[in-house]
Structure 1
Amino acid sequence: MFKRTMSALIGAPLLLGLIYLGGSYTAFLIAVLTFLALREFLQIGVQMGVAPWYIQTSTATAVWLTSLFIGREEWIMAALIFWFLICLGRLALTYPKTQLTEANFNLLAVLYAVVMLSHLYLLRQLPRGIEWTMLTIFLVWATDTGAYLIGRQFGQHLLAPNVSPKKTIEGSIGGLVFSIIIALVSWHIIGGAPWHNYIVIGVIIGISAQIGDLFESALKRSAGVKDSGNLIPGHGGILDRFDSLIFALPLVYYGIILLS
């Protein structure tokens, strides 16, 4: 408990501070987080018996982040397409040495641990990006808190017993309600957009954050591991701490663009 508390007291201000500063500070944060998350994802693959492509995935990550940080939007889609074709091409050229499961896992490693997580940088770069980014983080925390408190007090019906035996439908609803409530409170304090936009964001995060949490739990169960890593004392790895945020970030980013 002490390690968990100390990690939160150090990690949370560092995370929020680098996001607040923006620019190269946020870029540095994203670069570190994505490479660490990628490594954890590949290590989970090793536990599942899947051969990791360290060089190829690291190169794809470097190309993606470079395109992102220098603002070359036309390169971003190209980088995704090339990575997709590289994975399929390796399968085609080296089959049966390379199996479909291996190609799919390494393809997903970059998409999940790098592309989805790096939307934190894209969100921060939007007009009023600091507000939207902080709102997203706080709503994810509100969802987790609400799901825990309501689930602990009123939980009766299991949500996904084969994935997480402690999460309940009541807790899930509580997490969604907490997210919407905090979103409305934020609208009252921050403003700058219609109230219903905040509700939409609250709903998006209240649902996607919980799915992201369950996905990472399913991934770890598939590999037979308790945590994705041990980098953060008392919390596990990067994926353990950012699983909910990884799913929420892209949806919030594109949701804000569509609502603007």
Structure 2
Amino acid sequence: MSNFLKRAISGLLFVIVLTGCIFIHPICFYILFFIINILGLMEFSRMAKHMNIHVNLFFCILCGSILFTVGFLHNYINYKDGYLYFFLLTFIMSICELYRKKGNGFQNIAFSYYALLYISLPFTLLIYLPYMTSGKWMPEIIFFPFLLVWVNDTFAYLSGSLFGKHKLFPRISPKKSWEGAIGGGLMTIIVGLCVSPYIEGYTIRDTAIISCIVAVFGIYGDLLESLFKRSIEIKDSGNILPGHGGILDRFDAIIFTIPAIFVYMEFMY
């Protein structure tokens, strides 16, 4: 089977599973992203080992899982006391570094905290987006950023392949071009405006601004993950998705986009 065919099949299955779990039921969404969160933390830990840094993976998974679960329960059944356990465990994670007998203790702690900030926090903030406007679960609001990221990635690739001449960030990602970024961004805004009538709770202004956020922050999320991989000289963060790499490769843009959307929604609503 050719690499293109494997990439197409795995990409299609990824979209079907993700879309289905978002729209079928909130519990399905929770289970899927609970797993994705853990897999992302595991990939981050493996990447850090290339720099001889040992993330406290047990506590990262424990803290990240509690953070994501409490975010879900806070919105779904209004239970938020679990955040106290999360904060307590993050302090215990630091204390445990004294007993791990690993080198680079300071870096181990710093990378462990950054793993939670970089991976678990954005997935937790994603849960809050529909409840910020309507107070109820609205799968279309959860799905909207993913749709925009897919549109942005697809048309950035097509525009860059057809018209790309001026490098966007050659030191980090030599294949990306300004033409690709502009083409992807314009199409992202157009699609955002076209689906605006179907996003209950969002105004046209909201969808336009969120589309702009995705167009800008999605690129930086991609570049940041490329920076990580170049720093440790690897091609992909993992191999869980044939032809696409790992979880962080597939979610790099959305991870960076969700916090920016959350901040916008917090200011507006």
TM alignment of 1:130-149, pairs within 5 A? 130-149=139-158
Match of 2:212 in 1: 203
Match of 2:186 in 1: 177
- Cα displacement (A) at 1:170: 2.1
Q: Tell me, which stretches of 5 or more residues in structure 2 are unaligned? A: none
Among 114, 128, 141, the alignment partner of 1:122 is 128
- Cα displacement (A) at 1:97: 4.5
1:15 corresponds to 2:18: yes
Taking the aligned partners of 1:22 and 1:120, their CA distance within structure 2 comes to 15
Mark the CA change 1:79 to 1:218 in structure 2 (over 3 Å): closer, same or farther. Answer: farther
Among 28, 34, 59, the alignment partner of 2:37 is 34
Taking the aligned partners of 2:127 and 2:202, their CA distance within structure 1 comes to 21
Taking the aligned partners of 1:113 and 1:97, their CA distance within structure 2 comes to 24
Identity %: 31
Taking the aligned partners of 1:88 and 1:174, their CA distance within structure 2 comes to 45
Taking the aligned partners of 1:3 and 1:135, their CA distance within structure 2 comes to 26
TM alignment of 1:1-260, pairs within 5 A? 1-71=4-74, 72-76=79-83, 78=84, 81-82=87-88, 85-86=91-92, 89=95, 97-123=103-129, 125=131, 127=134, 129-190=138-199, 192-260=201-269
Asked whether the 8 Å contact 1:26–1:121 carries over to 2, the reply is no
Asked whether the 8 Å contact 1:90–1:98 carries over to 2, the reply is no
Query: RMSD value over aligned CA atoms?
Result: 2.5
Taking the aligned partners of 1:190 and 1:102, their CA distance within structure 2 comes to 42
Taking the aligned partners of 1:58 and 1:80, their CA distance within structure 2 comes to 11
1:185-211: per-residue Cα shift (whole Å, max 9, x none)? 112454653322211111111111111
Asked whether the 8 Å contact 2:152–2:188 carries over to 1, the reply is yes
Taking the aligned partners of 1:97 and 1:227, their CA distance within structure 2 comes to 26
Mark the CA change 1:153 to 1:170 in structure 2 (over 3 Å): closer, same or farther. Answer: same
TM-score normalised according to structure 2 size: 0.86
Taking the aligned partners of 1:62 and 1:131, their CA distance within structure 2 comes to 24
Stretch of structure 1 that moved more, 108-117 or 228-237: 108-117
Taking the aligned partners of 1:187 and 1:58, their CA distance within structure 2 comes to 36
1:21-67: per-residue Cα shift (whole Å, max 9, x none)? 23211110111100001100100001122112122212212321332
Asked whether the 8 Å contact 1:158–1:168 carries over to 2, the reply is yes
Asked whether the 8 Å contact 1:158–1:165 carries over to 2, the reply is yes
Asked whether the 8 Å contact 2:97–2:105 carries over to 1, the reply is yes
Counterpart amino acid of residue 149 in structure 1: L
Stretch of structure 1 that moved more, 6-15 or 250-259: 250-259
Taking the aligned partners of 2:198 and 2:30, their CA distance within structure 1 comes to 28
Mark the CA change 1:170 to 1:147 in structure 2 (over 3 Å): closer, same or farther. Answer: same
| 3-state SS of 1:166 partner | strand
Q: Tell me, which stretches of 5 or more residues in structure 1 are unaligned? A: none
Mark the CA change 1:75 to 1:251 in structure 2 (over 3 Å): closer, same or farther. Answer: farther
Stretch of structure 1 that moved more, 218-227 or 166-175: 166-175
Asked whether the 8 Å contact 1:19–1:25 carries over to 2, the reply is yes
TM-score normalised according to structure 1 size: 0.89
